[in-house]
């Protein structure tokens, strides 16, 4: 009787093991080289976000209504309630995402006035663009109870940041 370990079967087993090791090594190298470890949650917006801090534009300054200010904004400024103003382009991808986010969070803050104006209808928003220095929609201004502009954003801003800005202007 012969041994169950024949030289031919041992050689085949060694080659099979070598192939398995080569395939595993190749798979690990390929997996390690593909991707940067992040997972995208949404498509990238076209417009980069910009948040202006105090000292930039009208941030830190009081927003005052003029004869060319839309009636609903002028009225909102007299109530001493916080105001969020959005200037957007209808159909723009970043614009629509920001508009939808503000529309979604607005019901959570009944003491805040949310005003949204289409950039393509200048008669609708009057002198807001000039007063706030809007250059690239979507553009949002967050005004506190004292009518002081606290935050300005340009481009896509996610819902969490928008929500936090609203919380902040309610507390000032």
As a whole number, mean pLDDT of residues 65-77 equals 94
Per-residue pLDDT at 28 = 62
Domain harbouring 98, CATH code: 3.40.30.10
* Residue 34 in domain: no
Domain-located, residue 68: yes
What's residue 51's pLDDT?
A: 45
3-state secondary structure the chain: CCCCCCHHHHHHHHHHHHHHHHHHHHHHHHHHHCCCCCCCCCCCCCCCCEEECCCCCCCCCECCCCCCCCHHHHHHHHHCCCEEEEEECCCCHHHHHHHHHHHHHHHHCCCCEEEEEECCCHHHHCCHHHHHCCCCCCEEEEECCCCEEEEEEECCCCHHHHHHHHHHHHHC
Tell me if 43 is assigned to some domain.
no
pTM over 0.85: no
Residue 37 in domain: no
Summarised one tens digit per residue, pLDDT across range 119-131 is 999 999 999 988 8
Find the domain containing 112 and state its range. Answer: 50-171
Residue 128 lies in a domain: yes
- Number of domains within the chain: 1
Query: Is the residue at 40 inside a domain?
Result: no
């Amino acid at each position: 009787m012969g041994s169950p370990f024949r030289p031919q079967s041992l050689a085949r087993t060694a080659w099979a093991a070598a192939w398995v090791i080569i395939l595993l090594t190749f798979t690990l190298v390929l997996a390690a080289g593909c991707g940067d470890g992040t997972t995208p949650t949404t498509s990238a917006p076209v417009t980069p976000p910009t948040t202006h801090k105090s000292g930039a534009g009208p941030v830190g300054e009081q927003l005052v209504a003029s004869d060319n200010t839309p009636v609903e904004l002028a009225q909102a400024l007299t109530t001493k309630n916080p105001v969020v103003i959005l200037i957007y382009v209808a159909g723009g991808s970043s614009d629509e995402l920001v508009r939808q986010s503000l529309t979604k969070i607005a019901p959570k803050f009944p003491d805040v006035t949310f005003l949204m104006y289409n950039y393509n209808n200048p008669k609708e928003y009057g002198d807001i663009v000039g007063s706030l220095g809007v250059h690239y929609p979507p553009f949002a201004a967050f005004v506190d109870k004292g009518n002081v502009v606290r935050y300005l954003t340009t481009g896509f801003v996610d819902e969490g940041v928008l929500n936090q800005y609203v919380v902040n202007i309610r507390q000032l």
